[in-house]
Amino acid sequence: MNSKPLPNDIDACHQLIAELQSQVGEHQQIIGKQATELSLKDKLIEEQAHSVLELKADHDKLDEKVIELNLKIEKLLKQLYGRKSERRVDGEGQLFLDLGEEPTPEVVSALEEAIREAEQIVDDAEEANKKRRKKRPEPSDRKFPEHLPRYEKIVDLPEAQRKGLILIGYDEVETLESTAGELKVRVTKYAKYAHPTDKSQGIVTPERPTGLVEGDRFDASIGVEVVAWKYFYHLPFYRQQDLFAGSGWTPSRSTLGNIETAVEFALRPLADYLRSVLKHDRTVGCDDTGVLLITPKAMPDLSEHPRGKRIGEVLGNAIESGKPSINANMWGYYASRLPVVVFDFTVSRHRDGPDDVLSDFKGNVLGDCWSGFQKIDLRSDSRITFAACWAHARRKIDECRGAFPLQVAKLESLIRMLYDVEDQIKELDDAARLARRQSLSRHVLDQIAEYLDSEAMQSPSVLPKSNLGVAAGYVRRHWEALCRFTEDATIPLDNNDCEQLMKRVATGRKNWLFKGSVASGERAANLLTIIGSAIRNDLDVRAYLDDVLRRALAGETDWSVLTPHAWKAEHPESIREYRQDERRQAADRKRTRRARRRLLNKSTRRR
């Protein structure tokens, strides 16, 4: 390549240098422009990458939200259309477990004893079924109770058809009839006397007994009907109007409300006494449910109310913010050994409700892991110990069955073993029950803890924020409270009895819908306490209420003899024996079902 010769004179060199500098400047401009374009492209790429990451993060959040909503939908569908019983039928993914690969000799001995016991239970159940089938009466042998009043109606042939025939007897057919409730008006005449000459002595008349309402216009039986219909049969006042109208009297709803108020006022000391009896038990279950409370137009007088400060705060906020109603709470307390239940009404789900009711209680409180129970031992200076409910823990795990079938099946099988142990030790005394819990139940609890820490329950199999991860976290956080039943024989494994108790409030709430005032809610709690305790003792609620109400109006104040369990001993004729039979049969069926499952478990392990 031939290059252009360089000039020799100074001017030409200067000119050449100027041309070269101009070319370099142009090249630098081009390079700068290209660099700027590259910088803009890099920035655009970086922005696009950042946008992609943001979109991916948003997409992941949406995926999590979709999963969460699907789980909620699945849970709601299960609540609406799923089986209501929590008993799990064995199926695909359900595991049969023994008591560990290397159990202690004591555990092995208990397992063998459980198998022998299960075989005996199954044999006894089959024998009992055979006897029942043999003794089953024919339909023609079933008679109505002899104490029911009877009248005769003779159906004869027409006279023309009877000619030449001899009557040899009658075929008797008993038909049960029902008529509307009969109302009667009792007219009581009180004699009046006057001195014939000394008019200063005035009129002398017999002393009048205390009536349910002023003027003694309604007998105690009317008060019993109103209260029993509302809190036992769950009939609101507007339906009671129809029932009374069918008997010829149509009371106003305010009249029915006044009658309820009068009954509760007379029996309030009995409800208070039942609350004191509850505190003599070693373990008390507690649960709650919401009740709608209408916000008053003006603040009521709370100067004499023991909870006036808290009630004033809640109602004051509701009135100030213009809320038409607030979510109040009805609490239920279930004594584990004593045949007593207690209800309490509060204006909010605040811990001051249980703290107040259990202010002088010393023992164990069994319930869900609500935050108000978490530190109750500290607030009570160690008077109260909190024990957690295994049914709540199992329920949270069972909700994850669709996404984690194998893990849930394993955990539920282990939890079911805890119930099997409880079933085996049910009839033992406290010392023997506690010993079995500390050996057998502790062994199962160790297996549950080991599985919760196993690889199957860790990431990536189970993410911490997944529904099973949250359920497992619930069990880990409250492990000490869940294991507390192994330290005290009076603590049940779950709080299901108290939860069943709260169904009375939920059923009533669907009918009477709301409470119109704090006083109305407290009246309902007192009446539910009395009626709920009567139901727990399998009593004829109306017969019990009628007797104790009349005795209270007559001035009797020995409430210890008016409690349902004391009254029951004096009135065996008012015990609903069919309720006891129903519970006994249900317990026998459950016991037999679990025994058959243990035998199936045994045969599965041998294969």
Structure confidence by residue, pLDDT tens digits, 166-177: 888 888 888 888
**In-domain check, residue 211:** no
**In-domain check, residue 519:** yes
pLDDT score of 543 more than 70: yes
pLDDT score of 535 more than 50: yes
With cut-offs at 50, 70 and 90, classify the pLDDT of residue 596. confident
Contacts 24+ apart (CB under 8 A), 240-246: 243/181, 244/183, 246/180, 246/181
Q: Which amino acid is at 506?
A: A
pLDDT for 79 equals 64
Q: Please report the DSSP string for 405-467 in residue order.
A: HHHHHHHHHHHHHHHHHHHHTTTS-HHHHHHHIIIIIHHHHHHHHHHHTSGGGSTTTS-TTSH
- Backbone φ, ψ for residue 292 (5° rounding): -75, 130
**In-domain check, residue 26:** no
Q: Which two tokens stand for residue 81?
A: 């259309």
**In-domain check, residue 191:** no
Percent of the chain, pLDDT > 70? 89
Higher pLDDT pick, 60 / 276 = 276
Predicted TM-score (pTM) of the model is 0.80
Quote the number of domains for the chain.
1
3-state helix, strand and coil shares in percent for the chain, rounded to the nearest 5: 60, 10, 35
**Could you give the CA distance from residue 483 to residue 390 in angstroms, rounded to a whole number?**
9
With cut-offs at 50, 70 and 90, classify the pLDDT of residue 91. very low
pLDDT score of 106 more than 70: no
Which domain, by its residues, includes 380? Answer: 262-535+579-600
Each residue's pLDDT tens digit, 334-361: 999 999 999 999 998 888 889 889 988 9
pLDDT score of 399 more than 70: yes
pLDDT for 94 equals 41
**In-domain check, residue 289:** yes
Determine the average pLDDT of the residues in 97-108.
57
Contact 515, 534 (CB under 8 A): no
The count of other CB atoms within 10 Å of the CB of residue 468 is: 22
Range ranked top by mean pLDDT from 107-116, 191-200, 231-240: 231-240
The count of other CB atoms within 10 Å of the CB of residue 101 is: 6
Measure Cα distances from 322 to 176, 232, 292, 296, 318 in Å.
56, 34, 15, 10, 6
Please name which of 562, 575, 569, 574 lies closest in space to residue 274, comparing C-alpha atoms: 562
Contact 271, 529 (CB under 8 A): yes
Higher pLDDT pick, 531 / 375 = 531
Measure Cα distances from 137 to 132, 143, 173, 354 in Å.
10, 11, 18, 51
Each residue's pLDDT tens digit, 282-334: 999 999 999 999 999 889 888 888 888 899 999 999 999 999 999 999 999 99
**In-domain check, residue 365:** yes
**In-domain check, residue 33:** no
Q: Please report the DSSP string for 523-548 in residue order.
A: HHHHHHHHHHHHHHTTB-HHHHHHHH
Determine the average pLDDT of the residues in 424-438.
90
**Could you give the CA distance from residue 354 to residue 380 in angstroms, rounded to a whole number?**
11
**Element spanning 294, H or E:** strand 283-294
**In-domain check, residue 605:** no
pLDDT score of 92 more than 60: no
